[in-house]
Structures are given as structure tokens and as C-alpha cells.
Amino acid sequence: MDKIVAAGTWVEIYSVVLAPGRRAAQIPDDTQQVPLEMRVKGYLVAPAHVGEEVEVVTPAGRRLRGTLASINPAYSHGFGAPIPELTAIASEVRALLRARGRVR
């Protein structure tokens, strides 16, 4: 049996917002065939086990319900690899701003 997760723990919840077939008519067919899912990170309101229906409070103060999916989840998104063209332009923009007295 898994351990109980304490109230106040940083967690991630999961919920299906719209089931397949309930999605908007104007979206592509392949998108309509999958559920619209929600994953939200927040602080657990009451003690619970992973897999149970729970309520969380987000850092913005929203209270949301969903299935407890993970404990202490990491952020896994990123902005991808640097774009060489933008890296080169950055120094040019700084030089222009410096010449106009906008930056040091």
C-alpha cells in the first residue's frame, strides 16, 4: 500500500476536461478523437493517496479538483535549443541600444 501524502505537499493533479467526441466541431478530426486533459500543479488541501480524487490550491489561489497524479513534480518544459541567428542578432541589438544611450 502506498503512503499517504500530507496536506500542503506540492503535487500534480490530472483531469479530463472534455471526453473524445465532446470537443468543438471545428477542431481537426484526429484532435476530436482524444480527450482534452488538464494537468495542474498546486498544494494538496487534505491528506490523500496517489490516484485519489483531491483538491489543490494553485500558487495563484485557484482551487481545482482532479486525480492525484504525482508528488513534488518537476517542471519539464523548456524553450528548446538556442537559435544561432538570434544569438548573433542579440549582440547587434545591444550595440545599437548602447549607441543610442538606452543601455550601458
Domain boundaries, the chain: 10-76
- What is the arithmetic mean of pLDDT over 61-80? 92
Other Cβ atoms less than 10 A from the Cβ of 66: the count is 21
Give the pLDDT of residue 1. 56
Tell me: the pLDDT tens digits for 39-69? Answer: 999 999 999 999 999 999 999 999 999 999 9
pLDDT value, residue 7: 98
* Beta-bridge partners for 54: 66
30 within 8 A of 16, measured Cβ to Cβ:
no
43: cell is 498544494
How confident is the model over 23-31, as a mean pLDDT? 91
